[in-house]
Amino acid sequence: MLRITHIHLNDIRNCCQADVAITGRLTIFVGPNAAGKTNVVEAVQLLTAGQSFRHARSADLIRHGATTARAVLTVADEVRHLEMSLAINETTRTYALNGKAKRVADMRGIMPSVAFTPDDLDLVKGSPAHRRDALDALGVQLNKNYQVILRDFEKILRHKNRLLKEGEASMLDAVNELYVKVAVQLQNYRRALFARLEPQISAHYTHIADGETLHGYYEASGQTTTPASTDQAPPRKRSEAAMVDSQALAAAVEAHRADELAAHRTLVGPSHDRITFQIEGMDATRFASQGQQRSAVLAWKLAEADTINDVLGTFPVLLLDDVMSELDAHRRAAFVRYLQHDIQAFITTANLDYFDREMIQEAQIVQLPFESA
């Protein structure tokens, strides 16, 4: 399988220049706050997943005083040797593979990744948008069509919201017809992906939480779907729901037409889909303890890695930005056990005390800060 063997950064955020040869499966970047640790994993995510967990503008990625920035990954296996590069100016990002320009969609899937940051600890109790975004971020790495559908939906959603804001009721019928068509496609992609992801989340959670049960539910806005089969399934098992019904969504959109015009925004469709979890039958958003939330988030991230391996036939690189300090010893141990798979991981930390001696001995330790201006 492909491994990252070298990282080169030039003028990425506060990093003037860095060249790191990667020697093993586990690399730990250690240094004080503001040393640039997060910038490294962000650059790796930009090149592997095509996006940043910081949701940064291009201009924000460039070191103060510089006009451009560049990040390069060398990845290799027994037969391939690839250079994945990203050139950034204030308005654009240009990707290349072995020197040939590529679309970002073409880069995804070559070396997939799963990122885990402190912000992800709000995945369970945070807004539904956070969970939708996490599911979509996984989907675009697994399937190019998912990215196309997501892009098309976001475009038509912006157009529809603009019409609603301007009160252009006369044009809504034509826009809603296209909106429903694209929205149903996205909801079906989400439904299918979550149906694949949810059993993995449940299994990891039960292992981490010493037998406690967790189940996830995907509810498509504008639908009244029920489980395709209730045999041995918990109530309202949305991950097993039937295909999303375009007629039901069209009816819901029409029923909310007046409300949307009054609210000046879309009220039905994928931007209102919900992903929820129940732990031991209780709503995790309302009742989960902090420990249960963190077990659920860790289970989600490990399930992402398993799903990528199942679909693409390769484990992703894991990018863990300062999360070991947020996990207790039991949950850190669960993560360390997962690393026994044939998987590459990059971890940032300000304190090596969160790692046991055996793990440190096996890891490549990279001290920061790098050279900076």
Q: Tell me, what's the pLDDT at 244?
A: 86
| Averaged pLDDT, 83-92 | 96
Q: Tell me, what's the pLDDT at 224?
A: 65
**Residue of 179 and 238 predicted with greater confidence:** 179
Q: Tell me, what's the pLDDT at 16?
A: 86
Please give the backbone phi and psi of residue 83, each rounded to the nearest 5 degrees, phi first. -115, 115
- Residues contacting residue 43 through CB under 8 Å, at least 6 positions apart: 7, 9, 12, 71, 86
pLDDT band at 371 (very low <50, low <70, confident <90, very high): low
Q: Which amino acid is at 58?
A: S
pLDDT tens-digit series, residues 19-63: 999 998 999 999 998 899 999 999 999 999 999 999 989 999 999
pLDDT tens-digit series, residues 257-308: 999 999 999 999 999 999 999 999 999 999 999 999 999 999 999 999 999 9
Q: Tell me, what's the pLDDT at 291?
A: 92
Please give the backbone phi and psi of residue 170, each rounded to the nearest 5 degrees, phi first. -65, -25
Q: Under DSSP, is residue 66 helix (H, G, I), strand (E, B) or coil?
A: coil
Q: Tell me, what's the pLDDT at 230?
A: 32
Q: Tell me, what's the pLDDT at 356?
A: 87
pLDDT tens-digit series, residues 338-367: 988 889 999 999 999 999 888 899 999 999
Q: Tell me, what's the pLDDT at 272?
A: 97
pLDDT tens-digit series, residues 101-122: 999 999 999 999 999 999 999 8
Cross-strand partners of 82: 75
pLDDT tens-digit series, residues 203-233: 999 999 999 999 999 999 998 643 333 333 4
| Averaged pLDDT, 299-328 | 95
What's the pTM? 0.91
Largest CA distance in the chain: 68
Q: Tell me, what's the pLDDT at 229?
A: 31
pLDDT tens-digit series, residues 154-198: 999 999 999 999 999 999 999 999 999 999 999 999 999 999 999
The terminus-to-terminus CA distance of the chain in angstroms comes to: 37
Q: With residue 305 as reference, give the H or E element that holds it.
A: helix 290-312
Taking 80 as the threshold, does the pLDDT of residue 238 lie above it?
Answer: no
Q: Tell me, what's the pLDDT at 339?
A: 86
Q: Tell me, what's the pLDDT at 370?
A: 77
